[in-house]
Amino acid sequence: MSETPVAEPGPEGPGFVVRAATAAEWATVRGARLAMLADPSAAFGHGPDAEAGLPEQHWRDVAAAWAEADQTLQVAEGSDGTWLGVMGCRVQGEGPELTWVWVVPAHRGPGGVTDALLTAVEHWAQPRGDALSLKVFTDVGRAVAAYRRRGFTAVGDPVPAREPGRADWVMRKPLR
């Protein structure tokens, strides 16, 4: 399996570009997905074991779906080709929904990969809906704070999450 590496935590590189993942990049999409599931933030409800054994065809299908017109997986690609973060967006019943949000730890913080990815997603979502929404576990404090500082506000009270004992904030950011 040829796979572009997902960056390990390390020193910040000189630069990156943000672009949409292609269907052909299924192996790198797999790597990014397993890395986000392994993140100690426990932001995704299950660890990588639940998906690590899924067959190649699953990842080909996932990458192909991300490349369809009603969804996008934006990736930040470092100058050496490694992926420094991803953010996905799908148009659901209520409009564009942000998902698969993950940035390599060494590239977190304001003014970098996180902002650039969100800007790209907002640009993609803007003609597709009035607002960008997301769900985030209430106990993933860094993500909640990161969304708040970037213009998202909670809609209502926390709602029970799919994972027992946890709750989600539904958050929303106007796009126009």
Ligand X SMILES: CC(C)(COP(=O)(O)OP(=O)(O)OC[C@H]1O[C@@H](n2cnc3c(N)ncnc32)[C@H](O)[C@@H]1OP(=O)(O)O)[C@@H](O)C(=O)NCCC(=O)NCCS
Name the residues that contact ligand X, by CB under 6 A: 39, 41, 43, 101-103, 108-110, 114, 136, 140-143, 145-146, 149
Phi/psi class of residue 111: alpha, beta or left (left: φ > 0; alpha: ψ in -120 to 50)?
left
61 versus 115: smaller Cβ distance to ligand X:
115
Query: Which residue's CB is nearer to ligand X, number 63 or number 146?
Result: 146
Q: Which is nearer to ligand X, 111 or 127 (CB)?
A: 111
- Smallest distance, Å, CB 89 to ligand X? 13
**C-beta nearest to ligand X: residue:** 141
Residue 4 · residue 28 · CB < 8 Å: yes
Give me the least distance between CB of 148 and ligand X, in Å please: 7
- Taking the complex as a whole, the smallest distance from the CB of residue 4 to ligand X amounts, in Å, to 19
In this structure, the dihedral spanned by the alpha carbons of residues 155, 165, 101 and 125, taken in order and rounded to 10 degrees, is -30
Cβ closer to ligand X: 56 or 109?
Answer: 109
What HEC string does 77-129 produce? EECCCCEEEEEEEEEECCEEEEEEEEECHHHCCCCCHHHHHHHHHHHHHHHHC
Minimum CB distance to ligand X, residue 161 (Å): 11
Q: Which is nearer to ligand X, 23 or 161 (CB)?
A: 161
DSSP for 3-32, please give it.
-PPBPPS-S--S-EEEEE--GGGHHHHHHH
Closest CA to 169 of 130, 141, 129: 141
Least distance (Å) between residue 160 CB and ligand X? 16
